[in-house]
Amino acid sequence: MIREIVIWPDPILKKTASPVDRVDDGIRRLLDDMAETMYAADGVGLAAPQIAELSRAIVIDTSPRQEGQKLIHLVNPEIVRAEGVSTYTEGCLSIPGEAEEVERAAKVWVRALDYHGKLFELECEGLLAIAVQHENDHLQGVVFVDHLSSLKREIIRRRMKKLKADHAAETAEEIRRAPGHESAL
Ligand SMILES: [Zn+2]
């Protein structure tokens, strides 16, 4: 099921997600929803807090931009090692239309549970390394604009507030135009 993506700024995106006790059908359903939502929004990664679920779960698929990669599920991820420095122009499904350069480790090793609850370790480079760090940040209540200067962050915050206000106005207009509204008191 495609879920609604929480748009920054929103208090839920500042919260720390809780570890998953057991990878069961409920978590797999969440991971499926996350993957579906990510693909529908044309993203390469999504963390559970972005659909208002405070669980330590991430999906990533960098395949449109990185050869040899496919859908990866990371439950209770932990970055166990990081190396080098890399700068990449990042975007976020929770901050639509914005992209800024962020400096991160060039290579990371992440340990997590997979879709079946099996522990695995993955060596990540390129966009995959960036995505793992970006999504892992979401689980700590951190978004990419938190890595920018406060000036840049405030400009983006203002644009997002305007976007949300425009969207709310459109929705109100749609409700007004909907047939039968007159009787809906
Ligand atoms: Zn994001």
Whether the Cβ atoms of residue 93 and residue 38 lie closer than 8 Å to each other: yes
User: Which residues 6+ apart lie within 8 Å of 46 measured at CB?
Assistant: 5, 34, 35, 37, 38, 58, 59, 93, 135
User: Which residues 6+ apart lie within 8 Å of 28 measured at CB?
Assistant: 115
**What is the rounded distance in angstroms from the CA atom of residue 16 to the CA atom of residue 5?**
17
Positions annotated as catalytic residues are 135
Q: For 177, phi and psi rounded to 5 degrees?
A: -80, -15
Q: How many angstroms does the Cα of residue 117 sit away from the middle of ligand 1? A: 24
Q: How many angstroms does the Cα of residue 180 sit away from the middle of ligand 1? A: 39
Q: How many angstroms does the Cα of residue 44 sit away from the middle of ligand 1? A: 10
Per-residue pLDDT of the chain (185 residues; tens, 9 = 90+): 999 999 999 999 999 999 999 999 999 999 999 999 999 999 999 999 999 999 999 999 998 777 777 999 999 999 999 999 999 999 999 999 999 999 999 999 999 999 999 999 999 999 999 999 999 999 999 999 999 999 999 999 999 999 999 988 888 888 888 766 556 66
Closest CA relative to residue 148, chosen from 92, 72, 70:
92
Neighbour count for residue 38 (Cβ, 10 Å): 24
Q: How many angstroms does the Cα of residue 6 sit away from the middle of ligand 1? A: 10
